[in-house]
A and B are shown apart, each in its own frame.
Chain A
């Protein structure tokens, strides 16, 4: 940027950025460090290096059960949310119709509703239709919360597409279905994969609504909430560090998938 340059003020501003980053990342980095620390209540000076907490969660069958629930929920949610989100994104891209703002609001609003309220509403409703207290209820709730993310990601990709491309395919004799299969889906494929991974990552970390509706079939984040309520245990840090690594892997994979085709002319 041009304009007035005052090294002191610029230095202070950069210092402020650094302080914000330290504030944001200290708990995350701390959790990594504490997970490898022997102390139950870590403080300065830190205790010795230990993999005890990882061993404890490795040997805890409940943690494994939670992990498999999380995985199952995440996979189903990713598939459902991406399918729904694709439909919504394509609808927004292609059609103009009466009530479209309402349609979009309904599709995109869920993340702005506080999770306690979503949790209560879901629990009350799902228990009326006898769907609460199992894995399906978590999948339903996470489907609602994740599809806006999938829709946004795919819509972004669609907006990069030349709208004439679809018309050209129709002119060449493809009907709508064929065009969808051979033009739209291949074009949005990177975004579809990205949406799959991102929604899965969102579902992996969601604990509040899952806590309300999951009953005894807890997912891993709900398990962590249970640890937090019960006795203090650095196992939370070990689980958190593993979950963080897996979430970040999903994001990096999604990023790579989003980026790759850009280098090739499409």
Chain B
């Protein structure tokens, strides 16, 4: 290896580095500076003032939104992981190679459909006089209120996250050593016990990462809580879009955004640490 990088190597490695530094890292770093700026006469001025942090952190509306978002995202991650697991388990352990490949292909399709369109469609399904309530009406049930509440929000989160969570779970389950499962069966370990004590521990890292992704996506999403959850009370991401779009109070939006990033980093590190604990075993 050369000690000095050649022109050739720099031609290929630098553009991406420069682009991501300039347009990814720098804007995120700029948010930190922005959070200390002040707004006078609808004009942002470079400054070093903690007024935005104090203002935002002293509002109970913010903390309500914060804990609400945290709770919704955690609940969503847990619920989606639980709902996904039997499906992932069945795909990984019960289907043939061909069916498995098809299933993975089918689960990738939603990534290329517009999330907005799916949310709009869900509004039609969930509204008071919508498809689901009409259907339940035939069965003599309902109508239930499924829109503009947490049920709507969580349904939206699930639409967003479920395909990804199933895929990630399937990938981690595919890596579980089949001999271990066989051995457990040979030693007369029951089906449920095999799943709980052999399969889940050996796929733990992947399962936790899948849940983490559901958390990250739910925590940052503003479409479901707004258009399916009704937007009131707001989540943190709705706060950011509201503040940003309604005026020049971007420094305050930056405070909310930075708080979100700090929370996400904390959760991500904790989850990864938990996922790889006892990895050697």
Contacts and interface: CB of A to CB of B under 8 A. Distances in A.
Interface of A: 1-4, 6, 9-10, 13-14, 16-17, 20-21, 23-28, 30-31, 34, 41-44, 83-88, 90-91, 94-97, 103, 106-107, 109-110, 112-126, 128, 140-141, 143-144, 147, 151, 176-177, 180, 201, 205, 207-208, 212, 221, 224-225, 228, 236-237, 239-241, 243-244, 247-248, 250-251
A23 B162 contact: yes
Interface in B99-150: 103, 106-110, 112-122, 124-125, 127, 129-131, 134-135, 138
Contacts of B221: 114
B254 A124 contact: yes
Contacts of B129: 41, 43
Given A88-B16, A114-B264, A106 B240 contact: no
A20 B166 contact: yes
Interface in B127-186: 127, 129-131, 134-135, 138, 158-159, 162-163, 166, 178, 181-182, 185
Interface string B5-19: 110110111111101
A239 B135 CA distance: 27
A43 to B, nearest CB: 5
Contacts of A43: 124, 129-131, 134
A218 B120 CA distance: 19
B219 A114 contact: yes
B114 A205 contact: yes
A131 to B, nearest CB: 10
B208 interface: no
Nearest to B130: A43
Contacts of A207: 114-116
Given A16-B87, A116-B240, A27 B159 contact: yes
Q: Give chain A's interface secondary structure class.
A: helix
Interface residues of B, number: 88
B115 A123 contact: no
Contacts of B81: none
A67 B163 CA distance: 28
Contacts of A118: 27
Contacts of A244: 112-114, 117
A116 B238 CA distance: 9
B250 interface: yes
B20 interface: yes
Given A114-B220, A120-B244, A123-B244, A176 B112 contact: no
B116 A228 contact: yes
A236 to B, nearest CB: 5
A27 B121 contact: yes
A121 B15 contact: no
Contacts of A97: 5
A117 B240 contact: yes
B90 interface: yes
Contacts of A247: 112-113
29 contacts: A9-B191, A13-B86, A16-B87, A17-B91, A20-B84, A24-B110, A27-B119, A31-B118, A43-B131, A44-B135, A90-B13, A107-B16, A114-B216, A120-B240, A120-B250, A121-B27, A121-B31, A124-B31, A143-B19, A147-B19, A176-B6, A176-B8, A207-B115, A224-B120, A228-B116, A228-B119, A236-B117, A240-B117, A244-B113
